[in-house]
Amino acid sequence: MDEKELRRYSRVVVDGVEQAPSRAILRAVGFEEEDFARPQVGIASTWSMITPCNMHINDLAQLAAKGADDAGGKAVIFNTMTVSDGIAMGTPGMRYSLVSREIIADSIHATSTTRSSPKVTSSFLTATWRPPARLPR
């Protein structure tokens, strides 16, 4: 596969004068000039301190990032949510268990497609103003 094909998604985000703002934001998180010529590899992580099964995920994400970087890509680690069935058991929160799979998949898709931090900030603000979820029984 030629280099242009390897960067078919990355180039949409970082190539050209019109993408200067994108490059500026990525420079702020540690990208170097040569990184823009490499294919970006998104690595979704469900790391959190909420469950023992997720406590080690950041270590795995770092290893995956090293592998992507060593192979000539530029790793971009991003987080997504996690749900703890063990903590939610016996509470209304347990109703989120199955649907959380779709929410997590959607969040990974949205992050890898848009990379939009203003949306993240506004989503956090929206969530703080919402009342606790009232799910049908």
User: For 56-92, how does the pLDDT look when each residue is reduced to its tens digit (9 = 90+)?
Assistant: 999 999 999 999 999 999 999 888 888 888 888 888 8
- Both structure tokens of 2: 């030629």
Asked if residue 51 is part of any domain, the answer here is yes
Q: What is the mean pLDDT of residues 29-43?
A: 93
CA distance 45 to 61: 6
C-beta of residue 41 within 8 angstroms of C-beta of residue 73: yes
Asked if residue 49 is part of any domain, the answer here is yes
C-beta of residue 80 within 8 angstroms of C-beta of residue 108: yes
Asked if residue 57 is part of any domain, the answer here is yes
Asked if residue 87 is part of any domain, the answer here is yes
Q: Residues 4-26: pLDDT tens digits?
A: 688 888 888 899 999 999 999 99
Asked if residue 100 is part of any domain, the answer here is yes
Q: H helices of the chain, where? A: 3-6, 10-14, 20-28, 57-70, 85-88, 99-114, 117-129
CA distance 99 to 85: 12
Q: How many folded domains does the chain comprise?
A: 1
In this prediction, residue 34 carries a pLDDT of: 96
Asked if residue 3 is part of any domain, the answer here is no
Asked if residue 134 is part of any domain, the answer here is no
CA distance 46 to 79: 6
3 state DSSP class of 76: strand
Asked if residue 111 is part of any domain, the answer here is yes
